[in-house]
């Protein structure tokens, strides 16, 4: 039998007290947020006739999720991070900030403090047998003028879909670099062709995805932060064309404007131009930044990240 108690005085009083509204201390914003979240959860229990067994199974799952450190991975997997992008896009449109390279999710695997260099960086440590890749492009404003000195922060997985720092078999900052653009707004990175990855098969993220009949795979991709004085910081990534999960990314990060081709180059002269002696894959990704007078918009948003103070 389903019995509805949400609108009873007892429940409404409980919500007020549980959210701290009867106390003078604390944050009013936190109280408002907690009250809304609790109200929605209580209502879901009421409307869906959630059983005690289902509720305590959910509590056990939250314990498992916390112990695993996969909360940010789950946030991407159930669409929260993409939802935040959709909402940010709508806010930008309403405020007249349209154009520029599209944003997409950061993901959970950024590590702050990667080595920085001017114009060019080699990202890999030479230990991965994957094919060589050159990633290059220009950073310009919305009038097509180059932005010199922009910082292009790039990170991606190795040929096994693993990221340095989290994968202890890799050297420090392997496949992670920051590059300042040259006077023409150009950046060049030598690296390896990355692979996509799947959620840890025994982890709580995949456990939930299995429960709802979804896979936990991402296509091969390359992450970017791009920042420059007087321009809006951009968080984005490119997904490599041809990957079987290109349009079935469990993290919902694929955008048509952010699909890049890894072109196989066999011309010795073109290889020599990049200091290479054999065939390589060329990925070109040009970036357009939008101007801003708000200094807060020139930096990435605050969230907990590895090695970031």
Q: In whole angstroms, what is the distance from residue 304 CA to residue 166 CA?
A: 15
* pLDDT computed for residue 309 by the predictor: 59
Phi/psi of residue 146, each to 5°?
-65, 145
* pLDDT computed for residue 308 by the predictor: 82
Distances (CA, A) of 228 to 50, 147, 151, 212: 50, 8, 6, 42
Phi/psi of residue 169, each to 5°?
-80, -15
- The 10 Å Cβ neighbour count of residue 49 is 11
* pLDDT computed for residue 167 by the predictor: 97
The tens place of each residue's pLDDT in the chain, 309 residues long, gives: 678 999 999 999 999 999 999 999 999 999 999 999 999 999 999 999 999 999 999 999 999 999 999 999 999 999 999 999 999 999 999 998 889 999 999 999 999 999 999 999 999 999 999 999 999 999 999 999 999 999 999 999 999 999 999 999 999 999 999 999 999 999 999 999 999 999 999 999 999 999 999 999 999 999 999 999 999 999 999 999 999 999 999 999 999 999 999 999 999 999 999 999 999 999 999 999 999 999 999 999 999 999 885
Host H or E run for residue 188: strand 186-192
Q: In whole angstroms, what is the distance from residue 298 CA to residue 231 CA?
A: 6
Query: Beta strand pairing status for 186-192 and 120-122?
Result: parallel
Q: In whole angstroms, what is the distance from residue 275 CA to residue 23 CA?
A: 67
Tokens of 218: 């991402």
């Amino acid at each position: 039998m389903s019995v509805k108690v949400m609108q009873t005085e007892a429940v409404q009083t409980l919500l007020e007290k549980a959210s701290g509204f009867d106390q003078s201390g604390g944050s009013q914003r936190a109280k408002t947020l907690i009250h809304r979240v609790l109200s929605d959860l209580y209502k879901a229990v009421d409307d869906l006739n959630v059983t005690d067994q289902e509720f305590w199974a959910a509590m056990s799952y939250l314990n498992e999720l916390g112990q695993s450190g996969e909360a940010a991975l789950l946030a991407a997997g159930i669409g929260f991070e993409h939802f935040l992008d959709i909402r940010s896009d709508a806010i930008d449109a309403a405020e007249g900030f349209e154009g520029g390279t599209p944003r997409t999710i950061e993901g959970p695997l950024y590590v702050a403090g990667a080595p920085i260099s001017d114009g060019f960086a080699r990202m890999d440590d030479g230990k991965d047998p994957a094919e060589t890749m050159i990633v290059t492009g220009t950073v310009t404003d919305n009038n097509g003028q180059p932005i010199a000195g922009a910082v292009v922060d790039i990170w991606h997985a190795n040929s096994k879909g693993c990221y340095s720092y989290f994968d202890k078999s890799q050297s420090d900052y392997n496949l992670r670099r920051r590059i300042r653009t040259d006077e023409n707004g150009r950046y060049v990175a030598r690296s390896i062709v990355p692979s996509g990855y799947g959620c840890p098969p025994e982890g709580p993220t995949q456990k939930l995805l299995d429960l709802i009949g979804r896979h936990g795979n991402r296509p091969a991709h390359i992450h970017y932060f791009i920042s420059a004085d007087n321009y809006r910081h951009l968080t984005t990534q490119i997904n490599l064309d041809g990957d079987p999960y290109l349009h079935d990314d469990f993290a919902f990060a694929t955008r048509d404007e952010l699909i890049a081709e890894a072109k196989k180059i066999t011309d010795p002269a073109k290889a020599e131009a990049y200091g290479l002696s054999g065939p390589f894959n060329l990925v070109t990704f040009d970036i357009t930044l939008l101007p801003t007078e708000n200094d807060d918009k020139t930096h990435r948003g605050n969230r907990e990240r590895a090695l970031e103070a």
